[in-house]
Structure 1
């Protein structure tokens, strides 16, 4: 043991100066975010006014960024013992006390790293501050660049002094941060002009126009780029929105809101409860909590924008496709914006992608300005990322929250679409009037050969084009119907195929067990029934019509959905009134039509959690009708007149084509489908299909 030369002791972590730039780089992504962090500190200091100046940018030696506020300021003790300690925040108190002293504002800069924003902008910092009721101001200066990155942090000196107030006289308190030796070398070019415009746009939406502090004003100056005392306010543009939705989604997924569009008067829907939770298939209290939502949208054609009173600058900001666009749906917590949500490059709701997939049905990111209002108190499960940019997105609460916002945006888009459908109906009526006038003109000018022939030619050309469009629609409808039904059964096919493979493996190991063989046979039988639904849809079978007993059609549909019905405890029954119903129709087409109605019913029965869920088919051979009913949540009143139009849907990821296709399939056989009263249940949905015997 005397030869043991082991040693022991204690040591301490030491940090190099490069840690400042490393932390700044990871926590602060660009100049706009850096400036925002400094503005947040002013807000936390109970300032009512903060002035941001980017001066002499085109002169590298003289360029600076200055953030000046009239907040409560800091004492020398706070500067030396709190502000100078990295990772320490004077705001880290108990949750019940994390509010500002003067205006009781919830703290925004809670992690104590906002000071790194200054180093992101430039290496040299001069801090001048004067506390309330103080007769002196404190000046601190530091320049990290002169020490080099290998210097230890404790070796970097910051010189300070107190003096009789020279800068903070009016107001007699506050803080000035003046940053020089800027990291970026500014030039008068497109790139840097866009950077300034981006900073202006970001600051203009930093505060919520609804729950942001009404006693907090942001002023921006940038003389090199022609900006002086620019007050940042987006509310002027919001007042010109063509479509507006303002409301709240509570923790049960119920949306209540007011909606209106220019030039109509506001329609108050505040008393109507829209159960969005049905569309995200949950019946529990939502983890994301209650939040407010404000959505403003435009049609981007020049006529609509001019009608809304938008000037050229506002139109340019809305339609911009680069980082200067003001479009997008932003998230706010306690009145302050969370980045990057709503920035042009962060389409967190996938609005543009949905718009590309279905141009007429969705609103793109540059057609909408939105505000989602969160708070620490009401939405504790929506947590900030450690880098202070965005929310933690891999949790259940955020996914729930995003789905609800997407549904609210879809509701606004659907209302917009309904308005546009009404306009198209008027155009169709006007088109029919034109044809009627042409017919009258043809009669009047029958003796004038040239005029008569020209009118006749126009009329024939119109009718020919109309027939061609109808034929194209029928072809597209059949193709879309096949794809839709294939999609409906894809999940069931996949599940049953997995079962088949699993049973097959067991058979190989235990050939003597007949029950396994029976299970495999049952699985294959289900798959065979589902194939019966799809097989008549193949091109070779599409034009064949046959005399079908609707009871047999019901049996085929029930077998196709059998496993789903059993798994979700949904009853599916068939009744006949008077006599049996026989219809001459293509087997595949009627199977598609009824399968779509059943698939819709199953979706809403499951998502709403309807007790004793049931679907019924009531056939009446006397009047050649069939009623398909369910006891689910029913169809919202405001869309009942439009459910057979394309792209109208209240499902989260629905296409809005099912009922449209069903209607067109039945129309091809002179049949009709429409909503009717649900006689068996007070709630629920009933569709009546009226068949015609006059079928080719």
Structure 2
């Protein structure tokens, strides 16, 4: 009676269907090692870009007997790992490879697979050496020979599959797979794509371990997160080496770099959902009104019962390293592709970021019964894309047993359970957006008001008056006007009008108080600087005196050279005279520079100034430091470009502080570039240097007082008090301008930009 027969091309057809990409194939083989109670798997690549490329996968698990190899590895879609609560023998792990497609992963990668497996002998596992074994299995599967046959039943009588059993003393148990030759020659792009995908194969430790006290002052919702369903903890790591070694170009993302932290704990048995959104310590330092918020709800009966945990780090001013961007999903400790891929937007964060506008967050508006913080019509503008988030959603079989993988092992079959996970994670992120907007918008609005106030003052103030002084005088005049109007209203029997004027008076007095507080807070720092300035002013006279002395010595040496009859002595005297004249010129330039900073004229009248001329004058002061370092300075400033109206001393101080820092940190034989232009109504100066790089995410702290990085004294540049950037920002704030570190041009390590509004 005729029956079914199966063509050998089934392997190729199923391999393409069930294993989508090389990283997916390797993940399936790694899962097999995990299911075999391994604590470590090593992936070694050798000559993977050549026709003889090889990948070795080895573990320290329990290994396979001949029967287990036949029923497990050689049986497609076998049932050896199926069952309601099937677990591994030692660590009691829930099996991850229940589909039985591991051998198809091997087919996807290579034409031949060689297997060496030593089976655990059942004795107690040694903490150092792992499982011991005596029996050893060696097998070879040649996929080309299999596919040369017509049907699967012909394999048994061929040499396409070979098995050899032996006993080789008491050795460590485990399995090693040699995959060679590889089906494809891996290009550099293939390798980088693979490394990007497997770098986050298991969750980063920062996402699952307890948070350090230095990260947040708030008690976390979760301590260590549950990654896997195993009754006996054993740990699991994957080591990539050889041609597949993970590069160190991108360091793993860390909690210390986060601005906000989101934690989610959904308990399936208790049907309890808890969400904590909390600012990190660094965020609370910058925004004192940033507060945490906790959601603690019993799920509705209509909500699907899904158990999971999550931790997500958010970054406000910048992106996470490329390999760690996005929120990834993990099932029994292994990443589920494609969630979190650079081209995957499963939480629709990128979509909302592109289409954001003036509106409240819709998901939160639907949860009025949750008593969430009040929304704002502009909060949707604060939505960020995937690059600002780094996180993990952790699922286990016991908590999410109804989730099913797609046939190609990439993603879950659509279901209400997965929709619940998606909605909950996105709701938690939206809550973080709301809290962040509430904490920062008030501060940013105040900063913008201050900036606009200073810009108006800079335009209206007299040329001999500082903008802040103008503001204080104007507030004083307005307050007196309000007081006079209130008196008139009271005398004419109009109490309501008087009350309105008194309210206005109170607001103006508060503004004056705030402005005065800003000035007072800087007073101590500026007293120190002022005392140094007085000393420096006196020093200018000493420098000029030294310049005159150098000139007199040069003239005397020239006279001696003319009088002597010894030509060699005369030549030497003229050389010394020339050196004295050079010294005189250097002292003169330095005296001019110091006079610009400390002299009365430098603070007498604000005016537009030729920027290039000022930069060149300041640069002369640093010639010695440049020569010692073998460095160069490029000035890319049009000769006719003029600054907004500034006091000369202010401009010199700004240029001097920024140029000094650039030279100090440019490195040996380094380069500095000073450029400026006017665009979009803004006057911009940029100082760029090679050498040391400033992390843009940490850059704000360098504007704090007394934050100096230099510990040694430079003969020309000094040691530094850590006030240069602080004073520079204060001078620029005076005119409603900004100063910040920015991404440098190609070839430079650090860049800082100054921006003034151009009247």
**TM-score under structure 1 length normalisation:** 0.53
Question: Equivalents in 1 of 2:445, 2:387: separation in Å?
Answer: 27
Corresponding residue SS for 2:324: coil
Q: 1:74 to 1:422 in 2, by over 3 A?
A: same
Structure 2 match to 1:82: 72
Query: Who is 1:122 aligned against?
Result: 110
8 Å CA contact 2:195–2:244 kept in 1: the answer is no
Q: CA deviation at 1:206?
A: 8.7
Cα distance change on mapping 1:220 and 1:233 into 2, 3 Å:
farther
- Residue 298 (str. 1) matches residue 309 (str. 2): no
For residues 551-587 of structure 1, the C-alpha deviation after alignment (integer angstroms, 9 at most, x for no partner) is xxxxxxxxxxxxxxxxxxxxxxxxxxxxxxxxxxxxx
Once the two structures are superposed, the pairs formed by residues 236-251 of structure 1 within 5 Å of their partners are 237-249=254-266
Aligned residues: 405
Q: Indicate how the Cα distance of structure 1 residues 254 and 205 shifts in structure 2: closer, same or farther if over 3 A, else same.
A: closer
Question: How far apart are residue 123 of structure 1 and its match?
Answer: 1.4
The whole-number CA distance in structure 2 between the counterparts of 1:232 and 1:428 is 35
Which residue is equivalent to 2:42? 51
Matched, 1:153 2:152: yes
Unaligned runs of 5+ in 2: 122-132, 209-224, 358-380, 475-759
Q: Which of 23, 43, 60 is 2:51 aligned to?
A: 60
1:151-550 alignment, distance < 5 Å: 151-156=150-155, 157-165=160-168, 169=171, 172-187=172-187, 189=188, 191-205=189-203, 209=208, 210-212=225-227, 215-224=234-243, 227=246, 234=252, 237-249=254-266, 254-264=273-283, 272-273=294-295, 283-301=300-318, 317-318=321-322, 325-358=323-356, 360-393=381-414, 395-431=415-451, 433-434=453-454, 438=458, 441-442=461-462, 445=465
* C-alpha distance in 1 between matches for 2:245 and 2:333: 29
1:131 aligns with 2:119: yes
**What is the RMSD of the two structures over their aligned residues, measured on CA atoms?**
3.5
Q: C-alpha deviations, 1:306-346, integer Å up to 9, x for none?
A: xxxxxxxxx5x33xxxxxx4212112223332222111222
Q: CA deviation at 1:295?
A: 1.2
Aligned to 2:4: 13
Partners of 1:253 and 1:404 within 8 A in 2 = no
DSSP 3-state at the match of 1:182:
coil
Of 95, 115, 119 in structure 2, the residue corresponding to residue 107 of structure 1 is: 95
- 1 CA distance for matches of 2:459 and 2:73? 85
Change (3 A) 1:193 1:44: closer
1:93-104 map, 5 Å: 93=83, 95-96=84-85, 98-104=86-92
Q: 1:13 to 1:398 in 2, by over 3 A?
A: same
Which of 1 and 2 has greater Rg? Answer: 2
Matched, 1:73 2:63: yes
Pair 165,327 (structure 1): closer, same or farther in 2 beyond 3 Å: farther
The answer on 1:40 being equivalent to 2:40 is no
SS at match of 2:399: coil
Say if 2:81 and 2:95, in contact at 8 Å, map to a contact too.
Answer: yes
2:142 corresponds to which residue?
143
8 Å Cα contact 2:326-2:342 kept in structure 1:
yes
| Range with bigger deviation, 247-256 or 286-295 | 247-256
Larger CA deviation: 257-266 vs 111-120: 257-266
| Residues 48 and 231 (structure 1), Cα distance of their counterparts in 2 relative to 1, 3 Å cut | farther
Question: How many Å apart are 1:149 and its aligned residue?
Answer: 5.2
Query: What are the superposed Cα offsets for residues 533-555 of structure 1, whole Å, 9 maximum, x if unpaired?
Result: xxxxxxxxxxxxxxxxxxxxxxx
1:407 Cα deviation after fit: 0.9
Tell me, what secondary structure is at the counterpart of 1:161?
strand
The residue aligned with 1:537 is none
The alpha-carbon deviation at position 429 of structure 1 amounts to 4.0
Q: Secondary structure at the match of 1:427?
A: helix
Q: Is the 8 A contact 2:35 2:88 kept in 1?
A: yes
CA deviations 1:354-402 (Å, max 9, x no partner) are 0001173212112111211222222333333343321111x33332332
CA contact (8 A) 2:202 2:330 kept: no
Partner of 2:360: none
2:551 is aligned to none
Check conservation: 1:219, 1:232, Cα contact below 8 A: no
Paired with 1:268 and 1:335, the residues of 2 have a C-alpha distance of 32
Q: Offset of 1:274 from its aligned partner? A: 5.3
Matched-pair contact (CA < 8 Å) for 1:288–1:381: no
Cα shift readout 1:18-51 (whole Å, capped 9, x = no counterpart): 1111111111111101011111111100001111
Deviation at 1:406, TM superposition (A): 1.5
TM-score (norm 2): 0.49
Task: Name structure 1 gaps, 5 residues minimum.
Answer: 1-9, 278-282, 306-314, 319-324, 447-451, 457-696
> Take 1:45 and 1:86, find their aligned partners in 2: how far apart are those partners?
18
> Does the 8 A contact of 2:403 with 2:412 survive in 1?
yes
Once the 2 structures are TM-superposed, how far is the Cα of residue 197 of structure 1 from its aligned partner? 2.5
- Given that 2:291 and 2:439 are in contact with CA atoms closer than 8 Å, whether structure 1 keeps it comes out as no
Paired residue for 2:525? Answer: none
CA distance in 2, matches of 1:444, 1:179: 80
Determine the C-alpha separation between the residues in 2 that align with 1:300 and 1:13: 63
1:122-181 deviations in Å (ceiling 9; x for gaps): 110011100112323100001111343552122233111123449x94xx1010111112
Closer/same/farther in 2, CA of residues 375 and 136 from structure 1, 3 Å limit: closer
State how 1:651-666 maps to structure 2 within 5 Å.
none
CA deviations 1:232-252 (Å, max 9, x no partner) are 995x53442222111324566
Q: Which moved more, 1:197-206 or 1:134-143?
A: 197-206
Query: Contact (CA 8 Å) 1:288, 1:401: kept in 2 or not?
Result: no
CA contact (8 A) 2:202 2:333 kept: no
Are the counterparts in 2 of residues 25 and 120 from structure 1 also a CA contact under 8 Å? Answer: yes
1:181/1:26 Cα in 2 relative to 1: closer, same or farther (>3 Å)? Answer: same
Whole-Å Cα distance in 1 between the matches of residues 105 and 4 of structure 2?
24
Distance in structure 1 (CA, Å) of the matches to 2:118 and 2:184: 30
Q: What is the distance in 2 between the residues matched to 1:370 and 1:179?
A: 33
CA distance in 1, matches of 2:227, 2:14: 29
